[in-house]
Structure 1
Amino acid sequence: MTNVNSLVNIVVFGIGGAILVAALLGLLLVVSGSSRGSTPRSLTAFGVASIVLWVVLPALTALNEMSAGAGFWVGFAGASVVAIVMYAVNAAMLPMVARRQALVSGRTGLTGIKPTPSVLVGGLVVCLAMALLVTGVTAFIS
């Protein structure tokens, strides 16, 4: 039964988180394309909201896994998958956001921004480290 619970957690928190991240990026594109443009305060708010989602949703996955009786490593695996799914959405949408920012600001250098393999691997390492941290904190708390 733990395997089904893990898949449900990944779907609910991972796919749900990916949708929320995509919605945040879409909203950022709308705000940056407005007549006023995006202010540093709004960019900071979007960044904080994205980081909160990226930390809270894997932590909730790990908490849900471990409270269902699964061990630490199952919670870590679930949290890792959720973090990686959300990271994949960010990496996939980066070129689109960069092109939009280039159109708004007139800086043509932004159109060529694409994640390199080393950046993608570095992001995966950060996802795993963050998942390990939130799973450890969750195990300590519960």
Structure 2
Amino acid sequence: MSALINIAVFGVVGAVMMAALIGLLLATTARRSGAWVASVFSTVSVVLLIAVPALAVVNVRATVTGTGLGQAWLVAFAVVAIVYAANLFLLPLVRRRFAAVRDDRGARELRVSWSMLAGGVVLCALLAVCATAVAFPFT
């Protein structure tokens, strides 16, 4: 498989897993769960954002000959960026749900800004470095 196929497959799988995780988070907020639920979901999200790109790096290193560190990082970055884009598309749903549960006017007015997008690109780059560092020795 080529690197682009790995990006598409693992990106879609990661986005679907993140959407399912966000759906579970929204279902638990209906019961006004404690703060521990948010911390558990945050931990699982970070694990997901490192594990799925790491698996993509392992797969691309195993199937594409001559894959170096730079190409492995680019694959991990693209996979993380796809998952981050799925999060941005689900942000209005999460915002409305939390505003309804907590009756918070500020949560209703939350918008995606340029600084959020720029910070997301930096975060995607850092998560890609982590995923590449985790996966590169195993291939």
Q: What 5-or-longer segments of structure 2 have no aligned partner?
A: none
1:12 equivalent in alignment to 2:31 = no
Structure possessing the higher relative contact order (Cα contacts under 8 Å, 6 or more residues apart): 2
Mapped to 1, the partners of 2:134 and 2:98 lie a distance apart of: 37
One-letter amino acid of the structure 1 residue matched with residue 129 of structure 2: L
Q: What 5-or-longer segments of structure 1 have no aligned partner?
A: none
One-letter amino acid of the structure 1 residue matched with residue 74 of structure 2: A
Mapped to 2, the partners of 1:133 and 1:41 lie a distance apart of: 25
- Cα deviation, residue 26, structure 1: 1.1
Match of 1:128 in 2: 125
One-letter amino acid of the structure 2 residue matched with residue 47 of structure 1: S
State the percentage of identical aligned residues: 34
Count matched residues: 137
Normalised to the residue count of structure 1, the TM-score between the two structures is: 0.87
Mapped to 2, the partners of 1:128 and 1:26 lie a distance apart of: 26
Match of 1:104 in 2: 101
- Cα deviation, residue 92, structure 1: 1.7
Q: Find 1:50's aligned residue among 28, 45, 51.
A: 45
- Structure 2 counterparts to residues 3-42 of structure 1, below 5 A: 4-34=1-31, 37-42=32-37
3-state SS, counterpart of residue 82 of structure 2: helix
Mapped to 2, the partners of 1:117 and 1:19 lie a distance apart of: 25
Check conservation: 1:28, 1:46, Cα contact below 8 A: yes
> CA-atom RMSD, angstroms?
1.5
Check conservation: 1:66, 1:72, Cα contact below 8 A: no
One-letter amino acid of the structure 1 residue matched with residue 51 of structure 2: V
Q: Give the 4+ runs in structure 1 shifted more than 3 A.
A: none
Q: Find 1:71's aligned residue among 59, 68, 71.
A: 68
Normalised to the residue count of structure 2, the TM-score between the two structures is: 0.89
Check conservation: 1:15, 1:85, Cα contact below 8 A: yes
Mapped to 1, the partners of 2:123 and 2:108 lie a distance apart of: 26
Mapped to 1, the partners of 2:126 and 2:99 lie a distance apart of: 32
CA deviation vs aligned residue, 1:74-127 (integer Å, no higher than 9, x gap): 211111110000011112211221111111111111101122111111111111
Check conservation: 1:102, 1:111, Cα contact below 8 A: yes
